[in-house]
């Protein structure tokens, strides 16, 4: 074996070892990846201070007290501040999430008053409140033990000294919750409240006092309860979808691109292991949309490889030897790969900073995936290809040869394409107008955008729409006292989504109990989410701002990179086209518009711009090599033709990943995957048929204007 083959063999051995090592480490670290509530199960709640401008000290104190409280439920519970007046609580892995919400309750104002109605103590002067039991002469009684702060100790001592034999009332949010009699002066900073018949009664009183002891009065904005079983199912189905999608993409790459395709598969396998390690290392909280982001990024990671391999094929078609073709192919593909990924990163960054919760999780994993995919494509794939080449695989046929073929005259159909696009967009506006006339809403806004409570129930039987209407709805109406109950059956499953007005924790618990009692549903297979109208309004605003902000930032980046406003303008017009066409499908098919709508739209924007930049990069290159006889129209047609195979193959691999996710994923993932598939198809169409044509029309319009100005100047 010569030195070259030894070098190639060792290179591949090193790569295979790296794939195995990082794959094993990635699998081994899966247990260390932080799971979001939608995967681990548990409870999430967002509170907002009633006071308009709470001080940082009061906010910090409230966060600290809540953190101390939720540690009793789970050591992994987190309490963190959001903005200037909101507090988020995440308690993963708990089995009885509704009871925790009941225990946490709705933080409000707590005061102690004497019989004269004077306030003698406030809630923040109570340090602890615990339920307990005592036994005397064989009789068991239940008590609440209180401990006061130093200030509270002094004030309570003075009050009890003056009120022996009288009642001190504990008032929470304006209502008397208990009025014990003072038997003696209490000066030691601790006391017991007795007289309760059950431990539950004592525990409820203790919980209420603890809630009222917060520095700030809080109101619930949003809460979410997820059963652990549903989280386990979501992980299992998503991982299965990812594995099947990866296998299909791997087979496709090897069949279409031969030796380079095999190199790409090795790089992608390493990529998957690395991304799992990074998630654990950076303690990224993995959510269900986050898994979707990883699976989507695997599909998009193929794009960089496809751009490189297309270039290599072209260089081989020009007669270059394999080694030279590989080197040139990587060099020529670099600018398109970097520009395309940077613009997609812009969309991910906007999602991260403007989104919240699961949307932010999706943005994080997508961004990590994009950066990592660039690294694996530009370095790992190159390493693998040269390793295979050094083994002696030097026949150009093993790498694919692409000779210059007939140029497709895409621009001849530009008027037809423009007409199709206009019709699609107009159909969306018409559908929204019709929806507004029928329902009062232009789109089927989900609870995220309207406020209310959504309860997802997996029944033991496959209920028909008639069964849901006649059996389920009456039960829900009776519990909630609301006849306006909306139900949605998730096709292909036993899952039913029940949407109502915002329910209290008591109502949610009562509804869960009724579903278990009447239909034998497992409580672990019931999830509930409540969102206030205030949060819904913010989410609508965030959606609009996020799309506009991402579009403007992309416009500036493309303008900077291509030094031509026409490239940027035509790209942005195409992006607006994609957003409006996908919006048409939302309106016509009445897809639910929720929090994932923002992520979906920005992902489509980022994905579509990636394909557009590849075409623009080729137009820029061909313009630089333009001969005096070549017309602009010919250059545009040539550029789109040269990148056409890449556009189709990249879209196909990404579509495969998302389609498998749609087939196997849980309902919330399917709600995200369906419009995303539409966006992939639409983005491919606009990149190939619309964007280049728009640039051509703008360029020719400027040329005519310049020619007219020149002629006018000459005549003058």
pLDDT tens across 282-324, in order?
Answer: 777 777 677 767 766 777 778 888 888 888 888 888 888 989 9
> Is residue 424's pLDDT more than 90?
yes
386-408 mean pLDDT: 82
Decide if pLDDT at 716 tops 60. no
42 near 66, Cβ under 8 Å? no
The per-residue pLDDT for 417 is 93
pLDDT, position 158: 92
Confidence of residue 608 (pLDDT cuts 50, 70, 90): confident
SS3 assignment for 624-652: HCCCCCCCHHHHHHHHHHHHHHHHHHHHH
Share of the chain above pLDDT 90, in %: 16
| Residue-level pLDDT at 431 | 93
- State mean pLDDT over 196-214: 82
Alpha-carbon span 213 to 591, nearest angstrom: 44
- Cross-strand partners of 144: 131, 193
What are the phi and psi torsion angles at 407 (to 5°)?
-80, 125
Query: Residue 519: what pLDDT?
Result: 86
Can you give the pLDDT at residue 513?
85
pTM of the model: 0.72
Which residue carries 């005592």 as its tokens?
134
**DSSP symbol at 53:** S
Q: Hey, which residues does 87 pair with through a beta bridge?
A: 47, 81
Q: Do 601 and 582 meet the contact criterion of CB atoms below 8 Å apart?
A: yes
**Confidence at residue 693, expressed as pLDDT on a 0 to 100 scale:** 93
Tell me the mean pLDDT in the region 184-192: 91
pLDDT of residue 95: 63
| Nearby residues of 654 by Cβ (< 8 Å), 6 or more positions away | 296, 299, 300, 302, 303, 607, 680
| 3-class DSSP state of 517 | helix
Q: For helices 692-715 and 595-624, give the axis angle rounded to 10 degrees.
A: 50
pLDDT score for 530: 74
What's the mean per-residue pLDDT of the chain? 82
Pairing of strands 592-593, 126-136: unpaired
- pLDDT value, residue 168: 93
- 705 vs 99, which has greater pLDDT? 705
Place 665 in a pLDDT band, splitting at 50, 70 and 90. Answer: confident
- Residue 169 has a pLDDT of 93
Output the six-digit token pair for 461: 């039987």
Integer-rounded Cα Rg, in Å, for the chain is 31
With tokens 């006889």, the residue in question is 629
Task: State the average pLDDT over residues 509-516.
Answer: 85
Contact 173, 108 (CB under 8 A): yes
Task: Give per-residue pLDDT as tens, 49-91.
Answer: 888 888 887 888 788 778 777 777 777 778 888 778 888 888 8
Placement of tokens 């950066």 in the chain: 371
Q: How confident is the model at residue 685 (pLDDT cuts 50, 70, 90)?
A: very high
106 has a pLDDT exceeding 70: no
pLDDT tier for residue 592 given thresholds of 50, 70 and 90: confident
The predicted-structure confidence for 126-147, as pLDDT tens digits, reads as follows 888 888 888 877 778 899 999 9
Q: 23-27, 436-440, 611-615: which range is least confident on average?
A: 23-27
Whether residue 607 is predicted with pLDDT greater than 80 in this model: the reply is: no
- Specify the DSSP element, H or E, that contains 28: helix 3-28
Confidence of residue 363 (pLDDT cuts 50, 70, 90): confident
Cβ atoms of 205 and 196 within 8 Å: the answer is yes
CB 81 within 8 A of CB 56: no
Q: Which domains are present in the chain?
A: 43-103 (3.30.70.3400), 108-213 (3.30.1360.200), 228-427+536-705 (1.20.1640.10), 452-531 (3.30.70.100)
Span 270-282, mean pLDDT?
A: 82
Long-range contacts of 462-465 (CB under 8 A, 24+ apart): 462/494, 463/489, 463/494, 463/496, 465/489
Distance CA(398)–CA(474), nearest Å, equals: 66
């Amino acid at each position: 074996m010569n030195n070259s083959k030894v070098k190639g063999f060792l290179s591949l051995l090193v790569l295979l070892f790296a794939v195995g090592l990082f794959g094993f480490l990635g699998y081994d670290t899966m247990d260390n990846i932080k799971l979001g509530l939608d995967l681990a199960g548990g409870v999430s709640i967002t509170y907002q201070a009633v006071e308009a401008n709470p001080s940082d000290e009061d906010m910090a104190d409230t966060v600290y007290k809540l953190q101390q409280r939720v540690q009793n439920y789970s050591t992994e519970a987190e309490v963190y501040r959001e903005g200037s007046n909101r507090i988020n609580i995440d308690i993963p892995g708990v089995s009885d999430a509704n009871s925790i919400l009941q225990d946490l309750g709705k933080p409000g104002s707590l005061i102690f008053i004497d019989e004269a109605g004077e306030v003698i103590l406030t809630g923040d002067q109570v340090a602890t409140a615990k339920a307990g039991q005592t036994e005397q002469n064989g009789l068991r009684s239940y008590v609440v033990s209180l401990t006061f702060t130093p200030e509270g100790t002094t004030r309570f001592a003075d009050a009890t000294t003056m009120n022996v034999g009288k009642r001190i009332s504990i008032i929470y949010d304006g209502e008397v919750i208990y009025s014990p009699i003072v038997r003696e002066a209490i000066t030691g900073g601790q006391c017991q409240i007795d007289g309760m018949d059950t431990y539950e009664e004592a525990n409820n009183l203790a919980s209420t006092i603890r809630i009222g002891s917060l520095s700030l009065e809080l109101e619930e904005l949003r809460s979410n309860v997820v059963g652990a079983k549903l989280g386990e199912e979501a992980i299992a189905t998503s991982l299965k979808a990812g594995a099947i999608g990866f296998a299909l993409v791997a087979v496709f790459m090897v069949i279409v691109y031969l030796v380079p395709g095999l190199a790409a598969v090795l790089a992608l396998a390493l990529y998957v292991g690395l991304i799992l390690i990074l998630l654990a290392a950076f303690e990224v909280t993995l959510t269900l949309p986050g898994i979707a982001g990883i699976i989507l990024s695997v599909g998009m990671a193929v794009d960089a490889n496809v751009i490189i391999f297309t270039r290599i094929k072209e260089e081989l078609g020009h007669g270059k030897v394999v080694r030279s073709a590989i080197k040139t192919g990587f060099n020529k593909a670099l600018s398109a790969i970097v520009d395309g990924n940077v613009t997609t990163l812009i969309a991910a960054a906007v999602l991260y900073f403007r989104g919240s919760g699961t949307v932010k999780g999706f943005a994080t994993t997508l961004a990590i995936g994009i950066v990592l995919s660039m690294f694996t494509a530009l370095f790992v794939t190159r390493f693998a290809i040269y390793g295979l080449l050094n083994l002696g695989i030097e026949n150009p046929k093993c790498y694919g040869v692409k000779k210059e073929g007939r140029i497709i005259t895409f621009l001849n159909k530009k008027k037809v394409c423009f007409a199709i696009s206009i019709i699609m967009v107009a159909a969306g506006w018409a559908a929204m107008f019709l929806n507004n006339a029928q329902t009062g809403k232009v789109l089927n806004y989900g609870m995220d955008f309207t406020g209310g409570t959504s309860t997802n129930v997996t029944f033991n039987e496959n209920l028909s729409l008639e069964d849901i209407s006649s059996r389920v709805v009456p039960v829900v109406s009776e519990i909630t006292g609301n006849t306006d109950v909306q139900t949605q059956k998730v096709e292909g499953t036993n899952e039913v989504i029940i949407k109502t007005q915002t329910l209290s924790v008591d109502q949610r618990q009562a509804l869960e109990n009724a579903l278990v009692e009447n239909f034998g549903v497992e409580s672990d297979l019931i999830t509930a989410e409540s969102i206030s109208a205030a949060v819904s309004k913010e989410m609508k605003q965030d959606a609009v701002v996020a799309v506009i902000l991402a579009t403007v930032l992309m416009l500036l980046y493309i303008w900077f990179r291509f030094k031509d406003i026409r490239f940027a303008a035509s790209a942005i017009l195409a992006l607006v086209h994609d957003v409006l066409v996908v919006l048409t499908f939302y309106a016509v098919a009445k897809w639910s518009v929720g929090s994932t709508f923002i992520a979906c739209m920005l992902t489509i924007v980022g994905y579509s711009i990636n394909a557009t930049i590849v075409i623009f990069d080729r137009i820029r290159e061909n313009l630089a090599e333009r001969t005096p006889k070549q017309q602009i129209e010919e250059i545009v047609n040539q550029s789109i033709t040269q990148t056409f195979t890449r556009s189709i193959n990249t879209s196909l691999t990404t579509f495969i990943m998302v389609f498998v996710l749609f087939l196997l994923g849980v309902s919330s993932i399917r709600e995200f995957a369906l419009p995303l598939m539409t966006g992939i198809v639409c983005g491919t169409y606009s990149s190939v048929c619309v964007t280049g044509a728009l640039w051509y029309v703008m360029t020719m319009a400027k040329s005519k204007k310049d020619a007219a100005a020149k002629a006018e100047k000459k005549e003058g």
